[in-house]
Amino acid sequence: MPLPPPACAREASHQRSITINAYARTDGLWDIEGELRDTKEQVFVIPGDGVWQPGEPIHGMAIRVTIDSALTVRDIAVSMDDVPHPECPQAQAPMHRMVGSTMGPGWRKAIETHLGGIQGCAHLRELLFNMATAAYQTLPEEAEPADPARPPHHLGKCLAWDFAGPVVARHHPIFFRPPAANPPTDA
């Protein structure tokens, strides 16, 4: 279903494209690759740093995260081909601090701990946040460590995976929790 029509006339100003692709490797690991690209619809100027023509990338960067079946980061590679400031590429080296982190619960905290603030690049952090969801969807379900006493970590994280909802009842009935009955109201 498309968005409703805009409330008034408007003019395009900025476009951000994010693409994430995942690959199963022959060595049993997975590569999750993300790209972020920012362009403007008009000439964009940062005094002293550059002039960008319409459609020319201001940000053009990519990350490859190699993970194992436990979603643990084994390696990371970064490219920053298009940046607005000559200092930006210095943010590539700190990205290796993410090796050993897990793309699961605590992922955002690990990114903030290792790359937050002036330790890294805001755009690379944003891309890393989103890559975890793609990583999770890449691995076969049986790759997730199975602990029959604990629900998979995605349960209870969105409307569809509500513990009291029909999707959990169908796919993970052992963890289904019927909705609480509504208490009677005095009318």
Sign for the CA dihedral angle at 154, 143, 65, 97 comes to: positive
**pLDDT tens sequence for the chain (187 residues):** 899 999 999 999 999 999 999 999 999 999 999 999 999 999 999 999 999 999 999 999 999 999 999 999 999 999 999 999 999 999 999 999 999 999 988 999 999 999 999 999 999 999 999 999 999 888 876 555 567 788 887 788 889 889 999 999 998 899 999 888 776 666 5
* Side chain identity, residue 42: Q
| Angle at the Cα of 65 from the Cα atoms of 61 and 68, rounded to 5 degrees | 170
For the chain, domain boundaries: 14-143, 147-187
Distance CA(102)–CA(72), nearest Å, equals 4
E strands present in 41-177:
44-46, 50-52, 59-67, 73-82
Q: At what angle do helices 107-115 and 122-138 cross, to 10 degrees?
A: 150
